[in-house]
């Protein structure tokens, strides 16, 4: 009796243990499935294809100011004060240098004395003219003598006018003793020093305006023939940070005449206002010269790992693999891939988590 009871109890225990094990197995399987699902990274993919792309050629150029002027003075004299230096930014009307005005002041004094003398002569001639006019009216003097007095009076009037003009000119020369900036810009170079004698029209300083900068380049005939005035071009300037290295420009001047030495055409490209460049910077101009086929991917697809550019390619099992690529020039918001991808590859454009080799990818339904 006891033995039969124990056998029944053992059977019940075995059934209960089997049920518990089965339940644990189902829970582990469910947990494992949830964990595997959680390890996947949601990503948006794009299938790359070979398509037609513009072929570019690069031409070197220089950033220059279209408002470059050679600052000079009409005055001869010694430089009395040089108030600026190379590279200095100046405002319109700012004093650049002064020329000793001693000679001009002497000329002003001389012109003033000449005017006083002419006025005195005029007063005397006017008095004579009035006296002889009265005598002529009384027929006390002959007409010929009165005419000579009138002529002397008119000459005296002319002498006063000439003396006034001479004084005005001398005073105007004093204005040229102060050489001021014709516009806001940068002092590129100076050709004189303190104490140096200058001549009228001699170059004293070179000033570049900062308001209108342009890139001057020489293009081959093939590149030149495809350009039009007002056409937008891409300009790259060295020395700038990565965000502002590529600038936009507009074709402003096209010179049809070919340089006999280089057989190239001069082209001037206006840069947009506020471009972070300075006169003298080295530039490269990209011109479309034809077509070729290639593969492009969005900029967001390119990742840099360990100093190597690459993209994540997703295989048929939705597993991501980092693949090294060789990049070409940008094409709008995308970039050309010269090597590393083939048509039909699926690349990750964006992901909602960190991607690494071997990570399972859950394809975004919007891909």
List, run by run, the mean pLDDT of 10-residue segments along the chain (367 residues): 43 44 43 50 87 84 86 89 89 92 88 92 90 87 89 92 92 88 88 90 87 86 86 79 70 88 90 78 84 88 88 89 88 87 88 85 73
- Asked if 85 and 326 count as a contact pair (C-beta separation under 8 A), the reply is no
pLDDT at 365: 67
Greatest Cα-to-Cα distance within the chain, rounded to the nearest angstrom: 186
Domains within the chain, CATH numbers bracketed? 41-53+293-363 (2.40.420.20), 58-66+210-291 (2.40.30.170), 70-100+177-209 (2.40.50.100), 101-175 (1.10.287.470)
Query: In the prediction, which pLDDT does 22 show?
Result: 43
Half-sphere exposure of residue 287, counting CA atoms within 13 Å on the CB side? 25
> Helix, strand, or coil here: 230?
coil
Q: How many angstroms separate the CA atoms of 207 and 185, rounded?
A: 6
Query: Residues near 308 by Cβ (< 8 Å), separated by ≥ 6?
Result: 324
Query: What is the reported pLDDT for 17?
Result: 47
CA distance 174 to 278: 35
Tell how strand 282-298 and strand 334-339 pair up: antiparallel
């Amino acid at each position: 009796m006891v033995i039969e009871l124990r056998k029944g109890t053992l059977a019940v225990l075995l059934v209960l243990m089997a049920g518990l094990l089965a339940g644990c197995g189902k829970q582990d399987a469910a947990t494992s499935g949830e964990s595997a699902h959680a390890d996947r990274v949601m990503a948006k993919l794009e299938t790359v294809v070979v398509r037609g792309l513009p072929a570019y050629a690069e031409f070197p150029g220089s950033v220059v100011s279209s408002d470059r002027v050679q600052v000079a003075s009409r005055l001869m004299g010694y430089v009395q004060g040089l108030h600026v230096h190379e590279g200095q930014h100046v405002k319109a009307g700012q004093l650049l240098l002064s020329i000793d005005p001693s000679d001009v002041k002497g000329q002003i004094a001389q012109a003033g004395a000449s005017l006083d003398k002419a006025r005195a002569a005029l007063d005397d001639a006017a008095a004579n003219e009035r006296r002889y006019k009265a005598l002529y009216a009384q027929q006390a003097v002959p007409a010929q003598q009165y005419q000579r007095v009138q002529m002397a009076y008119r000459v005296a009037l002319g002498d006063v006018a000439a003396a006034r003009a001479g004084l005005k000119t001398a005073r105007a020369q004093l204005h040229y003793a102060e050489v001021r900036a014709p516009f806001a810009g940068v002092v590129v170079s100076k050709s004189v020093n303190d104490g140096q004698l200058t001549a009228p029209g001699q170059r004293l300083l070179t000033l570049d305006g900062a308001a209108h900068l342009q890139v001057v380049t020489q293009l081959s005939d093939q590149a030149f023939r495809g350009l039009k005035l007002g056409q937008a071009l891409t300009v790259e300037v060295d020395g700038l940070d990565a965000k502002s290295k590529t600038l936009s420009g507009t074709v402003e001047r096209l010179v049809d005449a070919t340089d006999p030495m280089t057989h190239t055409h001069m082209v001037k490209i206006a840069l947009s206002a506020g471009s972070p460049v300075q006169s003298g910077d080295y530039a490269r101009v990209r011109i479309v010269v034809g077509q070729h086929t290639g593969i492009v991917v969005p900029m967001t697809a390119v990742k840099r790992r360990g100093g190597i550019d690459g993209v994540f390619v997703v295989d048929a099992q939705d597993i991501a693999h980092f693949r090294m690529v060789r990049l070409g020039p940008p094409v709008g918001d995308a970039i050309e891939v010269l090597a590393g991808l083939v048509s039909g590859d699926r690349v990750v454009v964006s992901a909602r988590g960190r991607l690494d080799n071997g990570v399972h990818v859950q394809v975004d339904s919007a891909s």
